[in-house]
A and B are shown apart, each in its own frame.
Chain A
Amino acid sequence: MKKHVLIVSALLLASGALAQQKKTITVGVFPDLDSVVKAALPGFYKTHPNIEVKINSLAYADHHNALTTALATGNGANDVEAIDFGYVAKFAEGGGLVDLSKAPYNAAQYRNRFVAYTFPQAMTQDGRMVAMPTDIGPGSMFYRTDFLKKAGVQPTELNRSWDSYIAAGRKIVAANPGTFLIPDASEVATIIIRTGLKSGEGLYFDQAGKVLVGPDNPRFVRAFTVAKQIRDAKLDARAGAAFSSDWTTAFQKGNLASEVSGAWLVGHMQNWLAKDFAGKWAAQQLPGNSYTSYGGSFYGIPSQSKNKAEAWELIKYLTTDPSQQILAFKTTGAFPALRAAQTAPLFNEGVPYLAGQKARVLWRQAANQIKPIDVNRLDPVAEQIVSDSLSAVLDGSKTVEQALGEAQRLIQRRAR
């Protein structure tokens, strides 16, 4: 009897100790990144048996809104928060997210292991690092091989320069009635604005916060002029933003000869956007030696988290473990930010949708060519104003000079 009591109490003690050690942390995430975290958990539990992970997945916008509210009120954030590239600058302000460059995290030691432009995206102007990169979207041009063939156009003519892109586009559209070179002319302007930046220059502001947009900045003048040429030549479908109704329909009907986007677009194309045109699309680099990124995801730790050590363990696992990054790529096609993961044999295989083309090699090259861009708190404001003035140029209501002059004044007004 005594023996039994001893065993039972020993068991009780042991289970009590175990329960005490096991910590539950929560991860706030959005689709499809939630499936990446889900896929990672079995591997994570093997090395971290004492951490239990709960996934709180919300729709893309809801997730970021909830995070804003949690940071504003200092309450309700998850221990690990996924942050999309577009929101990083916004969340970097204030002390809402912990500085990962400091001890005990010392994230800077991993810097060289990541694609060069990813770390600066998550750094604030005063040198804090608010999130770790996990996936990236190297820019790529997709084009329809059958349309090009019919027009007798070589793929290199499309990407040699922007001028040759437009010239080739005229031939393609003429030879294939009812098609468009590109969904929207403004996409071209977006790329040109993002390329050829001087070191230390942001997209719209320099390091000192001075507004760069204006009629005297060649980068913007060229971006607006080229976009206007495409619009005037009636080469674009005027579909507006990506994933708009016209954009989607144009893809589904097979009316587009080319599109510039992140490498991740292939996943959408094969799953729903252009299912019927498998094997007819191919990829190459963006025109005129442009290398730019389309989005990317990050993980940060809110200052209010009570399980920062465990949260950091999970983030490290998700971002710095090559096998996990490869698993993520297999799960959703999210291109790894970790360089070691990009050398996996998988990346030398052909992409079935692109007729077996070894496009991942291209994307890897592009990823390593992309230059870091300084971010500014007012980037969203400037981006909106520039996009408004571009649309005024495209529909002919303002000249390039007028539009850029006005944009400059409007941005300066806001940079108070």
Chain B
Amino acid sequence: MRAGTSAATPRLSLGARWNNFQRRYAPYIFISPFFILFAVFGLFPIVFSLYLSFHEWQPAAGLGSMEFVGWRNFTDNLTDPTFWQSLRNTAVIALESGIPQHLIAIPLAFAIHMGLRRVQGLVTALYFLPYITSVVAISVIFVTIFSWQYGVLNVLLTGLRNLPLIGGLFPAEKINWLGNREFLQPAVASVVVWRYVGWNVVLYLSGLQAIPRDLYEAASVDGATTWQQFRHITLPLLRPIMFVAVTLTLIGNLQLFEEPYIIAGDSGGIGNMALTTVMYMYRTYNFYSDAGLAAAMSWLLFILIGGLTFVNNRVFGRGRLSGSD
């Protein structure tokens, strides 16, 4: 041992120092890509949009033209009838598309789980297909289906109308699905339902597979019918996954953009009935060049979604679950 050198300050060898450095800092370097990417693409836009929401800014005029306006963007939005209409539209379309999604997906997942065990993968993939297909392609096809003069749906209805006996149940004239106030929102909602049912089926299937088989076996030994099994085993044990699925639907539906945008066009369709809040935000930024107003709108929407998710959490969430168990 070279006692002479280590007596004063213990000078470590280069290798040991390198080891030390690695042990201390290497983990940070290894996880840094996430934080760097998050800071650039996640945190910065969020902070910038908050900053922006208190400014008036026309993007094409350059960053220098930003002007502080305080809460004006928020108050302007809150007193804008079109903003409130967009919120109403969003809520209606969210409900019209959100509730059927789950009412269809839960029994469907149960049926696939119980009955179609061999072809389960194939059936699930088929239902999942709309979810991974380009939303533009989907919406373009639905626009053609809903077309007033030339749409498949109206051709079908006319065909049914010509049937004897039941023909009277169908409308005598072609329905202008996308050009009528009362039909536009259901039309958009139906596309959303069609697209997301598969996604929910997959979620519920994974939930169902987590339920132990022996519960069902015990129940059927006790003579429980399929309905009773569904009602008393499946539904209660599916609650955690239902909570997840409903939360995802809630957040997704309140941010609805692509489907209404492509079906109704950037004008929001007849009477602005398909103008969702995110579409209005996009319009405010892109066509009205009012970035501050649009940023404030996004924060108002954020507050709304946050509030509703909180309520959902209180009603269906973990707390209630453990209490009821």
Residues of B with C-beta under 8 A to A68: 59-60
Residues of A with C-beta under 8 A to B79: 413
Q: Which of A91, A245, A249, A250 contacts B60 (CB 8 A)?
A: A91
Q: Which of A95, A245, A391 contacts B62 (CB 8 A)?
A: A95
A384 within 8 A of B: yes
Residues of B with C-beta under 8 A to A391: 270-271
Q: Judge whether A71 and B148 touch: CB under 8 Å.
A: no
Q: Looking at the assembled complex, report how far the CB atom of A8 sits from the nearest CB atom of chain B, in whole angstroms.
A: 50
B49 within 8 A of A: no
Residues of B with C-beta under 8 A to A377: 58, 289
**How many residues of chain A have a CB within 8 Å of chain B?**
40
Stretch touching chain B among A12-20, A236-244, A257-265, A360-368: A236-244
Q: Judge whether B267 and A69 touch: CB under 8 Å.
A: no
Q: Judge whether B181 and A94 touch: CB under 8 Å.
A: no
Q: Judge whether B81 and A246 touch: CB under 8 Å.
A: no
Q: How far apart are the CA atoms of A72 and B150 in the complex, in Å?
A: 43
Return the CB mask of B268-287 against A: 1 if under 8 Å, else 0: 10111000000000010011
Given A74-B63, A397-B181, answer yes or no on A410-B82 (Cβ-Cβ < 8 Å). yes
A387 within 8 A of B: yes
Q: How far apart are the CA atoms of A245 and B59 in the complex, in Å?
A: 32
A233 within 8 A of B: no
Q: Judge whether A246 and B148 touch: CB under 8 Å.
A: yes
Residues of A with C-beta under 8 A to B140: 245
Q: How far apart are the CA atoms of A387 and B287 in the complex, in Å?
A: 14
Q: Judge whether A244 and B176 touch: CB under 8 Å.
A: no
19 CB-based A-B contacts, threshold 8 Å: A65-B286, A68-B60, A71-B60, A72-B63, A90-B60, A93-B289, A94-B61, A94-B62, A94-B65, A240-B178, A245-B147, A250-B150, A255-B149, A378-B288, A384-B267, A388-B272, A391-B270, A395-B180, A395-B271
Q: Judge whether B62 and A72 touch: CB under 8 Å.
A: yes
Q: How far apart are the CA atoms of A384 and B272 in the complex, in Å?
A: 10
Given A71-B62, A413-B80, answer yes or no on A246-B147 (Cβ-Cβ < 8 Å). yes
Residues of A with C-beta under 8 A to B176: 238
Return the CB mask of A149-168 against B: 1 if under 8 Å, else 0: 00000000000000000000
Q: Summarize A's interface: helix, strand, loop or mixed.
A: helix
Q: How far apart are the CA atoms of A181 and B150 in the complex, in Å?
A: 17
Closest chain B residue, CB of each to CB of A304: B62
Taking CB atoms and an 8 Å cut-off, the chain B residues in 135-194 that contact chain A are 140, 143-144, 147-150, 176, 178-181
Q: How far apart are the CA atoms of A65 and B58 in the complex, in Å?
A: 13
Residues of A with C-beta under 8 A to B270: 391, 395
Given A93-B60, A94-B65, A240-B265, answer yes or no on A397-B82 (Cβ-Cβ < 8 Å). no
- Beyond the given pairs A74-B62, A249-B150, 4 more chain A to chain B contacts, judged by CB atoms under 8 angstroms and listed by A's residue number, are A90-B60, A94-B64, A96-B60, A378-B288
Return the CB mask of A337-355 against B: 1 if under 8 Å, else 0: 0000000000000000000
Q: How far apart are the CA atoms of A388 and B81 in the complex, in Å?
A: 13
Q: Looking at the assembled complex, report how far the CB atom of B143 sits from the nearest CB atom of chain A, in whole angstroms.
A: 5
Q: How far apart are the CA atoms of A241 and B79 in the complex, in Å?
A: 29
Residues of A with C-beta under 8 A to B287: 380-381, 384
Residues of B with C-beta under 8 A to A96: 60-62
Q: How far apart are the CA atoms of A255 and B143 in the complex, in Å?
A: 19
Closest chain A residue, CB of each to CB of B272: A388
Closest chain B residue, CB of each to CB of A89: B289
Q: How far apart are the CA atoms of A414 and B60 in the complex, in Å?
A: 19
Q: Looking at the assembled complex, report how far the CB atom of A402 sits from the nearest CB atom of chain B, in whole angstroms.
A: 13
Closest chain A residue, CB of each to CB of B81: A410
Residues of A with C-beta under 8 A to B150: 246, 249-250, 253
Q: Judge whether A249 and B149 touch: CB under 8 Å.
A: yes
Residues of A with C-beta under 8 A to B149: 237, 246, 249-250, 255
